[in-house]
Structure 1
Amino acid sequence: MTTTHNAESTMTFPGSARVEMVMGIPVSVDIRTALPARELAPLLDDAFAWLRWVDDTFSPAKEDSQIGRLNRSRTIRQIPELVEVLHRCDELSQATGGWFEARINGVIDPSGYVKGWALERLSRALSNAGAGDHRITAGGDIRVRGSAAPGEPWRVGIRDPRHDVVRKVVVANDLGIATSGGSTIVDPHTGEVQDALGSVTVIGPDLGVADAYATAIYAMGPLLARRFAAELAASGPYQTMIISRDGQEVSTPGLTGRSGAEARLAG
């Protein structure tokens, strides 16, 4: 499915937007920069070509993807992006004490990182091509840059994936937002499905990293999740919102500061 519309039909900013099914989910690329139509269409074509390439290369469900071939001990191509992703997954495993893990029981699955990584790379490519005002959305992952309208930052609603309600609205000109909890996440130490939390959202400058942190924090369960989120916020730019199974919500100060909400995690 492909849907394209000219953004100026519904917004005050010129531009163009398109939605296509990639990775089994609707992916939206919304460009608000005032560029000629002859430049916008190829940018959107290239954007979705990149995302399809990522899916064909990294999906563990596709037998002939590079990840699928690795898991079946078959020959793979020497692809720099594959080396980059697997190396970064190892670094994130170390950074989270093994709570983010792309290798479980001998099976490689970088899905908890690669979608955010792909959108982050796409966002940078759009900026380099002159389309610095954009929003990319794929499931629980969102990347915004620039302005939503002249002089206006993006206002992004963070949805609770279990109840499809907006929990917070963050305001930003340059931010990655990743939410985990809408699909199955396992405890990498036991292989058991983890469902003690409602959802976890992490915001920060790199969407791939935020995606991995959100996956890891969700896998930790309530007590470790809150402790790790507080430590993460104290040591760097990544901020977290945790929603418990009963709907209670707590956020680290940096996320609260972007949305004006009151509940906070102690540092």
Structure 2
Amino acid sequence: MTSNIAGSATSNIAESATSNIAESAKAFPGTARVEMVMGLPVSVDIRTALPARELAPLLNDAFAWLRWVDDTFSPVKEDSQIGRLNRGQTIRQIPELIEVLHRCDELTQATDGWFEARINGVIDPSGYIKGWALERLSRALSNAGAGDHRITAGDDIRVRGSAAPGKRWRIGVRDPRKDVVRKVVFANDLGIATSGGAPIVNPHTGEVQEGLGSVTVIGPDLGLADAYATAIYAMGPLLARRFAAGLGESGPYQTMIIARDGQETSTPGFTDYSGAEARLAG
């Protein structure tokens, strides 16, 4: 995690979230911090018992990385690399930029065009970049010795390790439209991405998709889960259920779909993280 970006934006929301996280974590080793990045409060909660002299730099580097991602990939910042690319200006040959654009193209193929970062000549990797950034951060924290952590940015969550000795993380999956918990997931190593809180465009028509309430995808890579959730939401009800079923049968990514009327449909593997056995084990 490297960046020359310094400083942090804070708000009353972030300060309140920091207080809540600190309260929940104070019985365990580690530390937590919330800062405003990408226009929303992002929290990093580390539960690994590390010396304070190591924890503070880890958190500083974590938020520096996230700000660098925002400054590089934001489609609304004029001087970001994505902004410059969309205006046909010279960009820096950043390996991460090449990686993200290549992965977005792969995801377009994997979803039959339902995930699309290039619409009407404009590049916008927003449906992938937040999950990708948190996934990269989670791996970096683990490599630095902070293997027990939870990172939350809006409706994207990455957990790893344990919330407390012998305890898996307990994550409430919220309906972004009604702000109610629809499912509780228990896990030691999982990415959880939910789409539906912000408008998502059907890439085949250019119109905002309004056929679903929300889509949550869980799996081992938060970037992929984020992109799949975006694509499945864009598909609309019928195709979404069909694609989610195939995705669950062929690999580790499982889906919960909430219809506009509140009806819930989940792939079988989703219940492995939220059923009675998961609660007892967690």
* Fold shared, TM-score > 0.5 on shorter chain: yes
1:166 aligns with 2:181: yes
Find the residue that maps to 2:106 and give its secondary structure: helix
Does residue 85 of structure 1 match 2:100? yes
The match for 1:265 is none
- 1:61: which partner in 2? 76
Which residue identity lines up with residue 157 of structure 1 in the other structure? G
Counterparts of 2:25 and 2:116, CA distance in 1: 42
Identity over aligned residues, as a percent? 85
Gaps of 5+ in 1: 262-267
Deviating runs (4+, > 6 A) in structure 1? none
Give, as a single letter, the amino acid of the residue that structure 1 aligns with 2:189.
Answer: D
1:120 match: 135
TM-score, normalised relative to structure 1: 0.95
Specify the alignment match of 2:155 in structure 1.
Answer: 140
The alignment status of 1:180 with 2:195, answered yes or no, reads yes
After TM superposition, the structure 1 = structure 2 runs for residues 38-117 of structure 1, keeping only pairs within 5 Å, are 38-117=53-132
Q: Name the CA distance, whole Å, in 1 between partners of 2:38 and 2:238.
A: 32
How far does residue 12 in structure 1 lie from its aligned partner after superposition?
Answer: 2.9
Q: CA RMSD in A?
A: 1.3
Contact 1:7 1:13 survives alignment (8 Å): no
Separation of aligned partners in 1, 2:25 and 2:215: 32
Q: Which residue number corresponds to residue 44 of structure 2?
A: 29
Check the 8 A contact 1:99/1:219 in 2, yes or no.
yes
Offset of residue 8 of structure 1: 7.7
Residue 10 of structure 1: how far off its partner (Å): 4.4
Residues 36-74 of structure 1: CA distance to partner in whole angstroms, max 9, x if unpaired? 111100000000000000000000000110000000000
- SS across alignment from 2:183: strand
**TM-score for both structures, normalised by structure 2:** 0.90
2:6 alignment partner in structure 1: none
**1:176 alignment partner, SS class:** strand
Q: Is contact 1:8–1:15 with CA below 8 Å preserved after alignment?
A: no
Aligned to 1:245: 260
Equivalent residues of 2:200, 2:230 under 8 A apart: yes
Q: Deviations over 1:195-243 (max 9, x none)?
A: 1100000000000000000000000000000000000000000000000
Matched residues, number: 261
> Retained in 1: the 8 A contact 2:25–2:31?
no
CA contact (8 A) 2:25 2:47 kept: no
SS in structure 2 of the partner of residue 199 of structure 1: strand
